[in-house]
Amino acid sequence: MSNLREILIKRKICKSVWFMRQAGRYLPEFRDIRSQNQNFISLCLNSELSSEITLQPIKRFNLDSAIIFSDILMVPYGLNQKVEFIKDHGPVLEEFNIKKFLNNDKISFTQRLYPIYKAIKRTRERLDKKKSLIGFIGAPWTLLIYMLGLKKDRKQINYQKIKTKEFEVSLILDKLHDYLCAHIENQINAGADVIQIFDSWAGLIVPEDLPNYCYIPNLKLVEFCRKNQIPVMCFPKGINKNYKEFNDVVKPDGISLDYDVDPNWIKANLTNVVLQGGLDPKILLSEEKKIKSAAKKYLDIFRGLPYVFNLGHGLLPETDPDKVEKLIKFFREY
């Protein structure tokens, strides 16, 4: 069985593979398109090109699932906050304005993001019906970090600002939940059949705040998906052994594994969930023998469990597509 939706619903042992960031920077066919489309936000809003990019890795590798080419920061964009992607720097958002944020409504939000839903519809029409189409969102905490400009570097945020504005932070998280539910629903209605929630900066939350900023916001989104019979996967990156508490509280259908967490510990502690990923993307920069050895480790440990083969983060820009192809071949022959 390779259909991700069925795997998540039935929790069956499976032989399924897809990769985070499989549509993008490492593919020469993507770089051709990107060179002619310098504005990243505009590219995400080009329904035809977004659909084409989404399908590039499917055409090249015949992966079992497609994930729509978009970005978690399209939600702040949909909420009328200017977002720019600066080369060699990353995303930059305009200064957050709480009045402007609260002045949004779901109709204008949906209109601004309509090209994404159109791209999903186009992709679903072109994609083999046996393959899943994954839509995604950023979790409220992770979006909050970007929207308030709290990042100091990859391992630090301005936590003091959060503690001095707790009421405002709580209000923003609650409002973000409403718009994220709308974004989920719109993606599903357009043709996506699985949702992935990326909480990319969950690891920056101090332990005592994990319930309020990570567990509860993710739980509310998972409950929304469950109520609407939408299979959902969570990726609370960086929370290490708090993965167990996250899984026990949030109870997603599937959970993406951080490459920093020991797979043997995962096997012993995460139950009643489809496991996904875990392989360090940097391994794909190594020689073939080392790549196969690392993949075999995960496949051996999770043998007999519902497990979707994937990475513990997105494919790196410098990854050789030939190595990706050999990894997929190794997995399918294993």
For the stretch 232-285, pLDDT in tens is 999 999 999 999 999 999 999 999 999 999 999 999 999 999 999 999 999 999
pLDDT tens figures, 292-322: 999 999 999 999 999 999 999 999 999 999 9
Rg of the chain over Cα atoms, rounded to whole angstroms, equals 19
**Which pLDDT does position 262 carry in this prediction?**
97
Burial class for 179, CB neighbours closer than 10 Å (0-12, 13-18, 19+) = buried
CA distances from 93 to 36, 174, 194, 265 (A): 23, 20, 28, 38
Return the biggest CA–CA distance within the chain.
56
Q: For residues 192 and 120, give the distance between their C-alpha atoms in angstroms, rounded to a whole number.
A: 7
**Which pLDDT does position 2 carry in this prediction?**
61
State residue 235 phi and psi, 5-degree precision.
Answer: -135, 85
DSSP 84: E
pLDDT of 231 strictly over 80: yes
Cα atoms in the Cβ-side hemisphere of radius 13 Å centred on 76: 30
Catalytic residue among 11, 34, 112, 226: 34
The fold for domain 4-333 equals: TIM Barrel (3.20.20)
> How many other CB atoms are there within 10 angstroms of residue 301's CB atom?
17
Higher pLDDT, 15 or 266: 266
Contact yes or no for 204/156 (Cβ under 8 A): yes
pLDDT tens figures, 92-136: 999 999 999 999 999 999 999 999 999 999 999 999 999 999 999
For residue 157, the cross-strand partners are: 151
pLDDT of 182 strictly over 90: yes
**Which pLDDT does position 1 carry in this prediction?**
45
State residue 66 phi and psi, 5-degree precision.
Answer: -105, 145
Q: Which residue's structure tokens are 């720097």?
A: 89
CA distances from 121 to 38, 72, 124, 199, 222 (A): 24, 19, 5, 25, 23
Residue 301 token pair: 């440990």
- Whether the model clears a pTM of 0.85, i.e. scores above it, the answer is yes
pLDDT tens figures, 149-172: 998 777 789 998 898 999 999 999
Asked about 226 being catalytic, the answer comes back as no
Asked about 298 being catalytic, the answer comes back as no
CA distances from 14 to 36, 71, 165, 219, 277 (A): 39, 28, 45, 25, 13
pLDDT tens figures, 55-84: 999 999 999 999 999 999 999 999 999 999
Catalytic residue among 117, 146, 213, 307: 146
Catalytic residue among 26, 64, 71, 117: 71
pLDDT tens figures, 247-261: 999 999 999 999 999
Give the residue among 230, 242, 199, 267 at the shortest CA–CA distance from 135: 230
Helix (H, G, I), strand (E, B) or coil at 206: coil
Task: Indicate the helix (H) or strand (E) that contains 333.
Answer: helix 321-333
Helix (H, G, I), strand (E, B) or coil at 153: strand
Angle between helices 166-190 and 140-147 (to 10 degrees): 120
> How many other CB atoms are there within 10 angstroms of residue 7's CB atom?
27
Angle between helices 47-61 and 114-126 (to 10 degrees): 40
Asked about 215 being catalytic, the answer comes back as no
Residue 235 token pair: 């990726």
Asked about 21 being catalytic, the answer comes back as yes
pLDDT of 194 strictly over 60: yes
Residue 186 token pair: 């719109």
Catalytic residue among 21, 117, 122, 298: 21
Asked about 105 being catalytic, the answer comes back as no
